[in-house]
Amino acid sequence: MDEKQQMLRNQQAWDAQTGAHVGSEFYDVASFKAGKNSLRPFEQEALGDVSGRSLLHLMCHFGLDTLSWARLGAQVTGVDFSAESIATATALAQELSLDARFVQANVYELPGELDGAFDFVVMTYGTLIWLPDLDGWARAAARCLKPGGTLFVADFHPIAMLFDDDLALARSYFRSGPAEREVKQTYAGEMDQPHIQTTWPWTVGRLVTALGRAGLQVTRVDELPLDLRQRHPAMVQGDDGFWRLPGDPIPLLLACQAIKP
Ligand SMILES: C[S@@+](CC[C@H](N)C(=O)[O-])C[C@H]1O[C@@H](n2cnc3c(N)ncnc32)[C@H](O)[C@@H]1O
């Protein structure tokens, strides 16, 4: 099976889990509808005032973060290859009277109308593992930026993926090639049936190199000892809602900014 077919199978799995995610405690759509902003403080700090600025949110799932940027005044476009996610995001925008455009597309086949159109391109949490070719993705993201525009990527740090539940080292940071897994229970809900998903490991070095090769200037890389959910039994939730390992031994999130010259 080639990468296109693996991504098609991933797309079907994401279609299957969107409904479960919309009703989940993790996404808490009721609070979002009541006005809660789903963005984390360091994302807002990284982008600053987005009011009136154009923002492309890649791999936006069903759009809560995209619509949160819209609530802050950005002119937003969300892209995801899952038709279910895009339909849900579009319906939410309509229901909440938020101005947003959602486009169904694979990040490797973005429509030409997005080229050079954005002050910001944003991609966050649980996205980089779905990309078989970081260089191709970085080129696609860079193409959508205006000169002077900023790419912001935040994701779960690859070092956090190396340990088993007892925090024993379980795999190599330097592994490569795709990994296949049959999944029914996701991080936020349960699908009706199991689906096979393919992911591709990445490293900080491969990410930063891909951004450089795409002609972007990396201006900031932050490694944070925080997670959005309890990935390991030893994690403890703080008053700020983030999960931490006692003593902050390893990075759990990575946030990176790069500018198109
Ligand atoms: C973990 S979710 C992103 C989560 C988002 N940060 C959130 O919390 O809502 C990953 C998303 O990437 C999308 N996706 C995966 N591979 C993709 C691809 N090649 N092109 C476009 N979207 C893709 C999936 O459909 C899914 O909605």
> At the top level of CATH, which class does the domain 3-259 belong to?
alpha beta
The per-residue pLDDT for 183 is 86
70 pLDDT higher than 90? yes
186 pLDDT higher than 90? no
CB 253 within 8 A of CB 43: no
The per-residue pLDDT for 86 is 98
Nearest CA to ligand 1 atom 7: 61
Q: Is the CB of 227 under 6 A from ligand 1?
A: no
Give dist(CA 36, CA 241) in Å, integer.
14
Nearest CA to ligand 1 atom 12: 59
CB 76 within 8 A of CB 70: yes
Q: Is the CB of 82 under 6 A from ligand 1?
A: yes
CB 187 within 8 A of CB 126: yes
CB 110 within 8 A of CB 139: no
Q: Closest ligand 1 atom, CA of 130?
A: 16
C-alpha 119 to ligand 1 mean position (Å): 21
216 pLDDT higher than 90? yes
The per-residue pLDDT for 194 is 87
Q: Is the CB of 257 under 6 A from ligand 1?
A: no
Mean pLDDT of 76-100: 98
Nearest CA to ligand 1 atom 19: 106
The per-residue pLDDT for 211 is 98
Give dist(CA 116, CA 123) in Å, integer.
17
C-alpha 247 to ligand 1 mean position (Å): 31
C-alpha 88 to ligand 1 mean position (Å): 14
pLDDT-based confidence at residue 56 (cuts at 50, 70, 90): very high
pTM for this structure? Answer: 0.96
End-to-end Cα, the chain, rounded Å: 38
Q: Closest ligand 1 atom, CA of 11?
A: 25
93-122 tens-digit pLDDT: 999 999 999 999 999 999 999 999 999 999
Q: Is the CB of 202 under 6 A from ligand 1?
A: no
Q: Is the CB of 198 under 6 A from ligand 1?
A: no
Nearest CA to ligand 1 atom 13: 59
C-alpha 126 to ligand 1 mean position (Å): 7
C-alpha 106 to ligand 1 mean position (Å): 10
Give dist(CA 123, CA 195) in Å, integer.
24
C-alpha 77 to ligand 1 mean position (Å): 14
